[in-house]
Amino acid sequence: MNVLNIDVPSALVSHWRGWLAPAQQPFFLTEGETQTLGLGSVPRDNAALTPELRDTFTLWSVRPAAERVVWLSPAQWTALPPRVSRDLLRAQVRHGRGNVPLGRQYRDLRPGLPVGRFLWLREDLTAEVLTRLVAQDAVSCQRAEVPEAVWHAAEDRLPGARALAGTFPAGSAGNCFGTVMGAAGVPGAAHTWIQREPFEAFLAARTRRGGQDDQPGTRLIWRSRDGLVQHAAVTLGGGWALHKPAQTWWTPRVVLPVGQLKRHSRTRGQRLTRATLI
End-to-end CA distance of the chain, in Å? 38
Give the CA distances from residue 228 to residues 231, 239, 270, in Å, rounded to whole numbers and listed in that order: 9, 27, 9
Q: Which of 18, 41, 19, 20 is nearest to 29 (CA)?
A: 41
10-residue averages of pLDDT along the chain (278 residues): 97 98 97 95 91 96 97 96 96 98 97 96 97 96 98 97 97 94 97 96 96 97 97 98 96 98 96 94
Q: How far apart are CA 120 and CA 117, in angstroms?
A: 10
Query: Which helix (H) or strand (E) element contains residue 134?
Result: helix 127-135
Q: How far is CA 188 from the centre of its chain?
A: 18
Question: What per-residue confidence (pLDDT) applies to 173?
Answer: 82
Give the chain's largest Cα–Cα span.
65
Q: How far apart are CA 40 and CA 202, in angstroms?
A: 47
pTM for the whole thing? 0.94
